[in-house]
A and B are shown apart, each in its own frame.
Chain A
Amino acid sequence: MGIFLKCLFIFLIVTLEARPISYSGGSTLMSMSDNMKDSVFYHYSPTYKYSVGIEAVKDKFFNKDYSYLRFTYLLDRKNTRHSQRNLYFQSGLSPDDNGNHFFGMHGDWETRRVFVGFGYKESFNKFQDYTEKFIQTGFAPYIGDYGDLHTWLMVKSKHNSIKGDWSTYPVLKFFKGNFLIDFGYDKQTDWDIHLMYRF
């Protein structure tokens, strides 16, 4: 297998979350819900290079409630006139005594028209360790001006080592001002919803 195919394979096994680090001094409140968990995550970015935060998790699979102290670091960013590329390291450590922690990578590349993102995360607890992977790609059907409602039509594929199969489903993303929402639905994995408010 050629280097290109190997790189493509590595690219395809990893996921994304929308901008896990804010601008310097910025705070972000997120709410996420999918087939594995519901969570509320607040993070603060002392600089644009990293964020620290706390996440409260309702784990649907293990039927547990716990929290994470989270740290996200911008490993690499490339800005050009028409694009931005990011690579992040993410981690979380539960202060509880159940041993929950995770780490992973995710990244994205986007222009005003096209978006590609990916991620890989390994989670550990005293019940069963597991990995999650995803890739998400999409395009903006129109180019909105600053302050307009922006819309993205996307496709997301994700895999969880506990569930086993890959699931692929459409995702709609909308944002305006400091608010963002994206949601997708798949018969197999149910709703995948992500809300974000930045302040």
Chain B
Amino acid sequence: MNRLLIIGVFMIGSFAWADHGHNNEMEMEAHSHEGHLHDTLVDGKQLDVDADRFDKFVAGLADTQIAIVSVNGMVCDFCARGIEKTFAKDSSVKKIDVDLNRGKVLIAYSNETAIDFDDIKKKILANGQNATDLQILIV
């Protein structure tokens, strides 16, 4: 009986999860050159995106906004699968790419979509990771 009580106590116990994300949205026209993609934004922030990957991602896309989301805890392909599946259910999402090396998720939205970082954070958190930053590029 005591063992069952111990199990019960553990089942209802929980630890708080700290989520220290912040929103840094920046709109700009995007194109890449010499392996870099506009290294510095107008607000001085560095944009850390693989240019070749970005070019491949946006190829064929028009009238599109690209949300570049920085994600903490995205260290494993197997564990990041849910991110792709979650965003794929969103009808306003045209395409998604996960860049494990840089800890980025690229999401292509139609230009009419109002990109909501809080909604993105919720979707990332539903997969167990934390979205920490958002930059929006228009292609």
Interface on A for B, CB 8 Å cutoff?
Answer: 18-19, 21-26, 47-49, 71, 73-77, 79-84, 89, 91, 93, 101, 103, 110-112, 124, 143-148, 150, 175-178, 180, 198
A14 to chain B, nearest CB (A): 15
Contact A89 B10 (CB under 8 A): yes
Q: Do the beta carbons of B126 and A47 come within 8 Å of each other?
A: yes
Which of the residues A49, A91, A177 comes within 8 Å of B81, measured between beta carbons? Answer: A177
Q: Is B100 an interface residue (CB 8 A)?
A: yes
Pull 25 A–B residue pairs with CB atoms less than 8 Å apart, ordered by A: A19-B78, A19-B79, A21-B128, A22-B82, A23-B85, A23-B126, A24-B86, A24-B126, A24-B127, A73-B13, A79-B128, A80-B73, A81-B70, A81-B132, A83-B73, A84-B73, A91-B11, A93-B4, A93-B7, A103-B3, A103-B6, A145-B100, A146-B98, A147-B77, A177-B81
Q: Decide: B126 and A48 in contact? CB cutoff 8 A.
A: yes
**9 A-B pairs with least C-beta separation:** A23-B82, A79-B73, A48-B128, A24-B126, A79-B72, A23-B127, A84-B73, A146-B98, A76-B15
The reply to whether B75 and A112 contact each other, CB–CB distance below 8 Å, is yes
Partner of B128, one of A75, A77, A147: A77
CB <8 Å contact, A124 and B3: yes
Q: Is B14 an interface residue (CB 8 A)?
A: yes
Within the complex, what minimum Cβ distance (angstroms) separates B74 from chain A?
A: 8
Prevailing SS type, chain B contact patch: mixed
Interface size on B, residues (CB 8 A): 37
- Chain A residues within an 8 Å CB radius of B128: 21, 23, 48, 74, 77, 79
Which residues of B from 71 to 124 have beta carbons under 8 Å from A?
A: 72-73, 75-83, 85-86, 97-101, 103
CB contacts (< 8 Å) of A77 on chain B: these are 17, 73, 128
| Cβ contact within 8 Å between A146 and B10 | no
Alpha-carbon separation in the docked complex, A25 to B128 (Å): 12
B41 at the interface (CB under 8 A from A): no
CA separation between A47 and B72, bound complex, in Å?
Answer: 18
Given A75-B14, A103-B3, A103-B7, also A81-B72 (CB < 8 A): yes
